[in-house]
């Protein structure tokens, strides 16, 4: 019995150490929030992304980090998860120590035993740069579309001018042919 218990304790310690290493070394922010909305744990990635120290925020309300306009969405997501529901990934603006906001992509889930939910576990990824690049690409696409429209209009105008020139040329050719036919007809009449 003692050997089995010691092996189980050793396995538990190893499992906890593995979890701690994952928690501390993953690049995304991992966090837990209590049923009262307080941050219970945050991994070191939080410090890299926000500039805040983990110690500054442990035990503080998560909502204080959320942009005021995003608070209704954050509250609804929190309530849904705490009541056992599932929600799709969503975006929130999060306050950085510099006073700027980053855009985070959040994926929360419930923690607990059985039907008892004891916290929210979440993963947050900074997508600010990705959104900025997408915005730049949309602007470049809009600029390109405008240039294509302008160039298409120029080409249509050039085609119209060419058609007018062609019509004039064809008209002159027709008159020349008519004149030649008229001259031939006169020659034939004079010779007869």
Which pLDDT score is estimated for 66? 97
- Asked whether the beta carbons of 78 and 110 are under 8 A apart, the reply is no
Tell me the mean pLDDT in the region 14-19: 78
- Please check whether residue 106 is in contact with residue 124, taking contact to mean a CB–CB distance below 8 angstroms: yes
If pLDDT is split at 50, 70 and 90, which confidence band does 17 have? confident
Task: Give pLDDT, residue 174.
Answer: 85
pLDDT tens string 154-176: 999 999 999 988 888 888 888 88
What is the percent of the chain where pLDDT is above 90?
Answer: 67
Q: What is the DSSP string of 43-99?
A: -THHHHHHS--HHHHTTSBGGGGB-GGGHHHHHHHHHHHHTT-----EEEEEE-TTS
Give dist(CA 175, CA 183) in Å, integer: 12
Backbone phi, psi, residue 60, to 5°: -100, 160
pLDDT above 80 (res 192): no
| pTM for this predicted structure | 0.66
Nearest to 38 by CA among 65, 76, 72, 5: 65
């Amino acid at each position: 019995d003692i050997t089995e218990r010691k092996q189980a304790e050793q396995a538990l310690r190893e499992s906890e150490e593995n979890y701690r290493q994952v928690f501390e070394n993953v690049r995304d922010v991992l966090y837990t929030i209590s049923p009262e909305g307080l941050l219970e744990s945050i991994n070191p990635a939080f410090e890299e992304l926000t500039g805040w120290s983990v110690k500054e925020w442990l035990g503080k309300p998560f909502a204080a980090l959320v942009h005021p306009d995003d608070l209704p969405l954050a509250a609804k997501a929190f309530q849904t998860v705490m009541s056992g529901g599932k929600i799709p990934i969503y975006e929130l603006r999060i306050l950085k120590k510099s006073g700027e906001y980053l855009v985070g992509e959040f994926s929360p889930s419930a923690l607990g035993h059985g039907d008892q939910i004891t916290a929210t576990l979440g993963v947050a990824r900074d997508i600010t740069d990705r959104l900025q690049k997408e915005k730049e690409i949309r602007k470049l696409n809009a600029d390109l579309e405008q240039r294509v429209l302008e160039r298409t209009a120029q080409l249509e105008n050039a085609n119209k001018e060419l058609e007018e020139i062609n019509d004039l040329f064809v008209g002159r050719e027709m008159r020349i042919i008519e004149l030649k036919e008229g001259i031939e007809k006169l020659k034939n009449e004079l010779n007869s």
